[in-house]
Amino acid sequence: GAVVSQHPSWVICKSGTSVKIECRSLDFQATTMFWYRQFPKQSLMLMATSNEGSKATYEQGVEKDKFLINHASLTLSTLTVTSAHPEDSSFYICSAHGVPLGTDTQYFGPGTRLTVL
Amino acid sequence: GENVEQHPSTLSVQEGDSAVIKCTYSDSASNYFPWYKQELGKGPQLIIDIRSNVGEKKDQRIAVTLNKTAKHFSLHITETQPEDSAVYFCAAGSGYSTLTFGKGTMLLVSP
C-alpha cells in the first residue's frame, strides 16, 4: 500500500518550453500533496503544498507563476514548469498523504529528473 | 519555524557493524519524526517513524529513539549490509503540517 507514482521519470527539454510532471497516488486518496526540488547531494527543498480542490501554497522564494501546481482530483497532482531555463534543471519529487492512511505520514514518488538544454 | 540538524554528513562502516545517525530539532511542537532512505536517482523511502508519545520503536534491524526533553532523535541500524548504503534523511513535523528535513547522511557499508 501507499504507492505514489510520477511521470515522466526523466525529461529533457529546450529552454523556453514548458514541462508537465504528474504525481499519482495509486492506492489511497491523497488529500494533500507536496512538491519538492532536490539538487545533487543536497536535501529536499519544499516548493509547495497542494490540497485537493484548492490553490497550492507556495514556499517563500518559489515563483508560483513559473511552477504551476494543480491538484484537481484526490489521486492526481501536476507540476508544470513554465518557460523552463537551464537553472530549472533538477530532481523534482512529489509526496502525498491522505485517506485511508489517515496519518501524517508522507509517501514519496520516485522523482522526475528534468534537464533543460 | 522548525530547524533540523543531522549528523554525521557521511558515515562509513564495515558490514556487520552498527550505524547511528543523530538529529536534533528546535520546535517543541513537533511530534512526528520519520526517517527516509534515498538511493541514488530514486525518491525517498520511509523506513521508520516515531511519534512523541513513545520513546523507542524497532523494526527488525532498524530502531529509532526519541528524547523530547533534549529535542533529539536517532536512527540505529544493526548488522549493517552493503544494501544499506544510501542517503538517510531525518525529518520533523506536527499533525498534517509540512515536514522539515535534515541535510542527510550518506551511509557507506563496506563488504
B27 φ, ψ to 5°?
-90, 115
CA distance B75 to B73: 7
Positive or negative torsion for Cα B100, A71, A37, A25: positive
Query: Distance between CA atoms of B100 and B22, rounded to whole angstroms?
Result: 15
Cell of B75: 536512527
Q: In whole angstroms, what is the distance from residue B103 CA to residue A102 CA?
A: 28
pLDDT in tens, A12-35: 999 999 999 999 999 888 888 999
Beta bridge partner(s), residue B58: B63
Q: From the CA of A111, how many Å to the nearest CA of chain B?
A: 5
Chain A residues in contact with B93 (beta carbon < 8 A): 104
Q: How far is CA A95 from CA A30, A42, A46, B43, B110, in A?
A: 9, 17, 10, 9, 31
**pLDDT truncated to tens, each residue of chain B (111 aa)?**
899 999 999 999 999 999 999 999 999 999 999 999 999 999 999 999 999 888 999 999 999 999 999 999 999 999 999 999 999 999 999 866 789 999 999 999 999
Q: Within its chain, how far is the Cα of B96 from the centroid?
A: 19
> Does any CB of chain A come closer than 8 Å to the CB of residue B30?
no
Stretch 41-70 of chain B: residues touching chain A, C-beta under 8 Å: 41-46, 49
